[in-house]
Each structure stands twice: as C-alpha cells, then as structure tokens.
Amino acid sequence: MQATDSAAPVPATPPSNGRQRLGDIGFIGFIALCVLVAWLSVHYHGGRLEEEALAARQQVAALDAQHLESHLALTLRGIDLTLQALLENGPPAEAGHTWNGLLGEALRHSPQLRSLSLLGPDGRIIASSNPANIGHRPGLGGYQPDGSGAAPLLRIGPPQAGRDLIDGAAMDPAAALPPLYFVPVLRGTGRTDERSLAMLAAINMDYFLNNGALPERAPTDHLEILSFDGQRLLDDNAPFDLDLHQANRTLAARWQAGDENGQVSEILRDKRYEAVYRVTHHFPLGVVARFDTDAALAGARAERSRQETRLFPTVALGLGGALLGYIFFRRAGSRERAARQAAEDALRASEARYRTTMDAVRDGMWEWNAQTGTMRWDRRCFEMLGYPPGAFEVDFPTCLAMLHPDDAPLVSGQLADQTSKAEGFSNEFRMRTATGDWHWVEGRGRVVEWQDGKPLRVVGTNSDIHARKTGEQRLRLLEAALNAAANAVVITNPQAVIEWVNPAFAALTGYAESEVIGRTPRELINSGTQSGEYYAALWNTILAGDVWRGELVNRRSDGRLYHEALTITPIHDDHGALDHFIAVKEDISARKAAETALDAAHARLRAVVDNFPGAVILEAPDGTITLVNQALCDLLGLQQCATELIGTPSADLADAVSRNFVEADAFISRIRTLREHARPVQGEEIEQVGGRWLERDFVPVHAGDTLLGFLRLYRDVTERKHHEQALQRMATLDGLTGAWNRRAFLERAEQERLRHLRTRHPTTLVMLDLDYFKRINDTWGHAAGDAVLCDFVRQVQSGLRSTDMLGRLGGEEFALLLADTGLDGAADLTERLRASIAANPIEYAGQHIGITVSAGIAPFRATDRSVEAALGRADEALYRAKSAGRNRFESAADDGDACDQACSA
C-alpha cells in the first residue's frame, strides 16, 4: 500500500503570481488587439459596402443603357427597312396621289414616326403622309454619317423644334430639348441623276418615353440619346446646362475615336456623376446612363456609419465583458471548459456527419414555427436560389412573397390542409432567385411538435427540381411544335412500325392517328410507283446511320396519288444502337404540277423566241442561260449556235462578247447591276467597236412572288443612233465655226455655276471679241470674215484643255468657260491666246489678214444667281479693254470690286 501511495500522482505546483500576471497582461493585450482588428474590420467592410453599392449601380446603369440602345437600334433598323422598301417598291415619282396613300398607310403601322415624306431631285417634298409638308424644302445639313442625301443608307439629322417638317425649326445644341420636337432621318437610293429620290421621316421621340424604352430610375439617374456630335436627341427630363453639354461633347469625341462602350467619372454642377455609355453598331448614335455617385452610395454610407457607431462599441463592450469574465472565471472554469469542449467536439462530429449526408443529396433543410411564423433556412436553402447564406431574415410571409403569383395561393392552401395531419407532405412551386428569375423547388416536410392540437414546429427539406421541370416543359413545347407543324412527322421503331404521327400526317394521307399506330407506311400509303431498288437504296442509307432525302409518289386513303418530299433521320440510343426513325413528309404535288406546266410553257416560249424579230436571252436566277435564239449569236458575233449556250453561265457569255463593245468593263458591270436590282429597264443604248449601236431591254420574269429569271432583248439601232447624233450636233454646235452655240454654252455654264456653289472650286468666264471685225468684212468681204472666224476658233481651241469650253455667243463675240481655274490662271491663258492670235495673221486668197482680240475676265461668285451675272461682269471688263485701246484684257476681281489690273500687248 505504501508503494501504491508513494506511486500516487503529485499535484502540480500552482503557477507563481508572476506567471499569472504575465498571463493576464497577455490576455489584456489580446483583447486590445481584438478591439483594433474589430475596428479595422468594420472600416474595411464599410469600404467594401461602398464599392459593392457603386459596382451594383454601375451594372444597373449599364443594363439600362443596353436596354435603351437595343430598343433604339431595333427601332431605327425598322425605320430603315420601311424607307428602303418604299423607295425600292414605290410607284414613279409622278404618281403623287398614289405616293401619299402609300406613305399614309406605312405611317399607320409605324407609331414611332410623325410623318413620311418623299423628296424629289431638287430636295423639295413631292409626297407626304402629312399633306402640309408637300412643297416644303427642308434643310438637309448636319446629317450623320456625312454624305450625299442620295446615299443608300439611313442618315440621322439634328433634332428640330416643332411637330413636323413643315413647322420644324433648328435648335441650339447647347439648349435643353423643347416639349415638342422631332428627329429627321433620311435615306436615298444611291442615284445622283435627275430621277434620284429620297425618303425623309420625322421620328416621334415621345415614342421612346411612352413605349417602355426607358426603365424606371431613381430621381438622380438620367438616360440620354446623343448624336456623334454630342447633341441630345432624347432625355428623361434631365437638367441641362453648359457643363452637361460639354460632358456630352467629350463622350461624343470618345465615340468618334472608336471607344464604343464604357464608363467615365464626371464632375457636373459640383457633384460627381458616373456615366455609362454604349454606341449603336449601325447608326451614329450613343446612349448615356448617368447617376449621382453620392445618391448611389447613400445607403452604403448609412450602413457603414451604423456599423461604426453601433457594432464597433458593441464588439468593444463584449470584449471588455469577456475580459472581466476571464478574470472572474479563470480558475474555476478550467474543469467546466474541458467538459464543454468534449460535448462540443461530439456535437461538431454529429453535425459534420449530418452535413455530409445533406451535401450528398444537395437538399436544403428548414424549420418553421407555425405559431410565430419564424423560419430558419440552412446554407443550401439560400444557395439554390442564388443568395449567400443568411442574406436576409426568413419568416413565413417572406417565403410566401418569394413564391410565383400563380403558386402562392395554391401552396398556402395546401399547407393549411396538410399541416393539420400527422403524415408528411410535399409541394412543387416556383421561387424568385437573387437574379429575379423563377426557380422550381420541391418542398417536403412534417409536423414534429404539436401544441393544443395545433402544429407548433414543422421541419422539412427543399429540393432543386428546376432542371427536371424545365425538361418537362421543353418536352411539352416540342410536342406542341410538332403537332402544329405544317409538314407531316412520323416516328417508327427500327422495324418501321409507326409509334407516333402528328395531325399534319392525317391531313396529308387521310388516315387518322388511331388507324396508323402499330402499322407500317408500306401497308398504308405505298403506291407501287417506286421500284424495289429505290426502296433498297433508301434502307441501306438509313440502316448505315445516314439521313436519306428524296421524293416519292404515295397513295392517300381515298386512292388518289400525291407527291411528297421525304426526309428520314435514324435515331440512336446512348449505346449507339438504332432506336427509332423520324420521317418528315412535305406535300409537293402542287410544285410538281407547276413544274409540268412550266415545261409546257417553256416549249411554247421556245417557239416564240426563235421567231422573235430581235436577239433574246433568258437566264435563271443563278445566272445559267435557259433560253437563247440564234439572232443573239449573229448580233453579238458569236461562232457558236444558240443551243450550245443553253446551260452555260451568262457571265461567261458576257466576258466573251464584251471585247466587241467600246466600254467592255461597263458592259459586264451593268449586267451584274441589273440582275442585283431586278427591276425592268428599257431602251439602254450600248456602243460597239466599229460604230454600231445596240438597244437593250431588261425584264425580270416573275410567277407571282417567285423570281423565275431575267430576260434581255437586244436590237440594232445604229442607223437611228447616227441620225440622233447628227441632230444633236446641229442643236449644240455653231454651224460655221464648230464652237458651241449660245444655248448649249449657257446650259453648260449654268451646270458649272451650280458645281461651283457645291464644291467651291474656282470657275472663270472669259469674254472674247475680235477687234475691228467690221473692217475685215467691209475690206475683204463676208467670206473672208467667215474664214477669219473659223481660223480664230481653231487657234483658240488648240490652246485649251479638254475640260475648257469655247462658245460663240453671236457675231464676232465668243466666251470661254474655264473649270477649276481661278483669276490668275485665266489671266495667264488669256494672255497666251491674245499673243498667239496677234502673232499669227490669217492667210486668205494669197493675202495675210492680221487680227487682234480683246477680252474680259470674271470668276464665278457665290452670290451669282445665274450665269448672266458673271457674263455681265466679264462684258464690263471687256468694255474696259476696248476702251483702253483693244488688243488687251481686263479682269474683274472675285471680291466684287472691279480690278484695274490690265495686261496689254
């Protein structure tokens, strides 16, 4: 016993006061460190709250901008297609009444437009959905993208105050938008000749405000649509000042530099704003979403302040209490802590096993106090809806509010009935996720505690069944789509026994579904028209796992034959074994009948073409020649006969004969353009090498709305063309000298004046008058005078460029039109001509007749209303040259003041 006693354990020596003091100091230091960490954590969390709030608000602004940009792009694309369709399919410009009705009908289907108008070649409205606009000439400056009004693309103009084009007024880009305004858009056909037309539409910008294009926003948030020059086209009553205007111009500069979307920080009215922007891909417009940064961060900053003023003192107080508790229970609590640690370890182990089980089945667990309405969700219940664990306080009303409106009444009633019973229950319902979507969930539960015969505590699980429910819905949609399909669909097993058909099969064959299930198509609809080899090739294809496509003649239930286009697709199971066949049948009886009728019509057309008094070629839409007569081969100089061209590409024929034409490349490109536009063209004249002229008609051939091909007719019009050219020379040239006559010269000069106004390229007129010409007539006779005039014209024209023009205005008075030439260049040319004429006398009847010329020079001015204004100034300068002694020239300055500069021999 003593040995046993001596072997008993000796109690540990209690620690000294010094060691206890060190322990206390260490614990106090730890508490202080915890307080510091808690303060830093609260501060960091507050900063994160502000960053997340700002990022969330930026994302909302980006979604708002994306929504408005998408709506805007779709609307403008619809307008562009409407204008293009009207230009391409509308009647001739002369049919004004028809145009007005057509535009009014188009406007009735376009709520986003105020009016639709047709512009003539002179820029004046010749037809409109609003009769008040007709005759009005709207300004077309400032449209984007830059280009001509005839360009075949949608160009967007600056906003105009007023309701429509007739009362539209220009707006100050730096001013706020008025209550009533519109934005004009323009689209041309690409033509620039005298028959060019364009469509002008006035967009009702209120359409975007009243049609849900602008989502609901906070009072400090604003959405705007801007043009590429920074001008507002639409806003949601955002305040407007010079700071905001300059910010918009800065954003527009970014867009022009290629920055199509992003975000920037701005200081407007001494406040910081965030601007999120997007640029439309096909139009020169951008969308800007702005929000006040301080307003966006107000909630986060309030939460941060609350945490710093409440949470941190609470943590500090708790840590202080912990310090006191440590000091109070330090010695007495050692044994209790050991026991509690053992219990906690056992509990954690139990919870770990339970959580492992729940994680394996991916279900969430919940608990509901039916008396108080409080609930508790575990982590998985939150995660399956996209929320972080503990994202919000859960109670029964909150859960009902998260249910789909169609499911909430049903689930509420089922719970009231099911929780009155002892057995378990389950429901399927949709709940709103963190992203706002609806997610299918199956809830199962049981009452585990009762109080006075009423349920008190209910526990259960939530299972994610969204994938299953979505799959079931997809299957229902697929079946509905097959039932609604116009083509017949048949599903068979590998032995070709029918398992399912859609209603279109009954419409095609006359057999009801109940008559065909369990039978094979061969028993029902085989007509015997196809051979056994045909069916053998079909089966070999599908049994090899390939899709078979072909045409069959089958028999309906009433015995009538019909043509069908058949596609059979083999279906394999997960192991690669053949499982089913799916056959899709299309009734092509009408198409076959049409092809037969077309062959007969083609034969009749062949006879007509062979006897047509002209060259004929008919090609398919893909460019293959389908019909041609021998007259075409003879007219175009081909060695082939007509039948050899059938089935060859028309492009090869065009390449082969193009060398016979003066403009070979233009001949080929014009045929390509005619085919692309597919519009009838008559009477086009083409010149061949050797002086022969052909006339071409181009006719697209349609059967209803179907394009069958293109017909081209050629005729030899050489004799008529030569006669027209002779008449043209007689109408435009002076009969004696060969210079342009007065009418033709003035017409050309007017064209150059208009070009000068458009391009600001310099253009100059020079008046020429032979000095003492009457003496020549009186001394040598009128025949000598005519010879002098002809030789004078020859000398002048030898010193001119191909772009210059010499015209005889009457008697011995001539004029020069010098394009792209300023006053100095005209003066140099005039001096050379004057010196050459004076130095080269004319030889007539063995005598030399010396002549001199006086000249007056006047450049076109921007203020000239007609050619006569410039001619008048040139004539005044000519008069000064005559008065100053002749054989010299005088010039009028371009600034309107007569120039005294003169040059003489």
Instruction: Tell me the sheet residues that pair with 395.
Output: 374
Residue 212 has pLDDT above 70, yes or no: no
pLDDT of residue 13: 44
Residue 881 has pLDDT above 90, yes or no: yes
Q: Quick one: what percent of the chain has pLDDT higher than 70? A: 90
What domains, with CATH codes, occur in the chain?
56-295 (3.30.450.20), 380-479 (3.30.450.20), 485-587 (3.30.450.20), 596-723 (3.30.450.20), 733-904 (3.30.70.270)
Burial grade of 508 (CB within 10 A; 0-12, 13-18, 19 or more):
buried
Give 3's pLDDT tier (boundaries 50, 70, 90): very low
Q: Give residue 786's pLDDT band: very low, low, confident or very high (50, 70, 90).
A: very high
Helix (H, G, I), strand (E, B) or coil at 692: coil
Write out pLDDT tens, residues 126-174.
999 999 999 999 988 888 888 766 778 899 999 999 999 999 998 888 7
390 pLDDT exceeds 70?
Answer: yes
In contact, 438 and 470? CB cutoff 8 Å: no
Residue 905 confidence (pLDDT): 36
Mapped to the 3 state alphabet, what secondary structure does 384-451 carry? CCCCCCCCCCCEHHHHHHHECCCCHHHHHHHHHHHCCCCCCEEEEEEEECCCCCEEEEEEEEEEEEEE
Identify the band that residue 350 occupies on the pLDDT scale cut at 50, 70 and 90: low
pLDDT, tens only, 507-526: 888 898 888 899 999 887 88
Question: Bridge partners of 566?
Answer: 550, 585
Would you state the pLDDT for residue 836? Answer: 94
What is the per-residue pLDDT across 38-88, written as a single tens digit (0 to 9) for each? 778 877 887 888 888 888 888 888 888 888 888 888 889 889 899 888 888
Q: Per-residue pLDDT for 805 more than 90?
A: yes
- Predicted confidence at residue 775, as pLDDT, reads 92
For residue 269, the model assigns a pLDDT of 77
Residues forming beta bridges with residue 396, ordered by sequence position: none
User: How far, in Å, CA of 581 to CA of 641, rounded?
Assistant: 51
Q: How far apart are the first and last CA of the chain?
A: 157
What stretch of H or E contains 823? helix 823-839
Instruction: Please tell me the predicted confidence (pLDDT) of residue 330.
Output: 64
Token pair for residue 233? 């086209």
Q: In what order do the strands lie in the sheet with 232-235?
A: 232-235, 222-227, 285-292, 271-279, 261-268
Q: Would you state the structure tokens that stand for residue 137, as one six-digit string?
A: 């000439």
Burial of residue 870 (CB within 10 Å: 0-12, 13-18, 19+) is buried
Question: Can you give the pLDDT at residue 17?
Answer: 60
Distance between alpha carbon 628 and the CA centroid of its chain, in Å?
42
Q: What is the DSSP letter of 660?
A: G
Model confidence band, residue 640 (pLDDT cutoffs 50, 70, 90):
confident
Residue-level pLDDT at 213 = 61
612: number of Cβ within 10 Å: 14
Mean pLDDT of the chain: 84
What per-residue confidence (pLDDT) applies to 149? 65
Question: What is the pTM assigned to this prediction?
Answer: 0.36
Q: Could you tell me the two tokens for 277?
A: 């922007």
Instruction: Render pLDDT for 466-479 as a digit per residue (tens, 0 to 9).
Output: 888 888 888 888 77
| Greatest Cα pair distance in the chain | 175
Tell me the mean pLDDT in the region 361-373: 83
651-665, 827-841, 891-905: range with lowest mean pLDDT: 891-905
Q: What is the mean pLDDT of residues 732-758?
A: 91
Q: Which residues have CB under 8 Å from 888's CB, separation 6+?
A: 834, 854, 855, 881, 902, 903, 904, 905
pLDDT at 851: 93
For residue 841, pLDDT over 90 is answered with yes
Q: Which of 894, 890, 892 is nearest to 904 (CA)?
A: 890
Residue 357 is predicted with a pLDDT of 60
Report strand pairing: 578-587 vs 615-619: unpaired
Instruction: Indicate the pLDDT class of residue 899, thresholds 50, 70 and 90.
Output: very low
Strands 222-227 and 232-235: antiparallel
Contact 858, 892 (CB under 8 A): yes
C-alpha closest to that of 185 among 104, 72, 67: 72
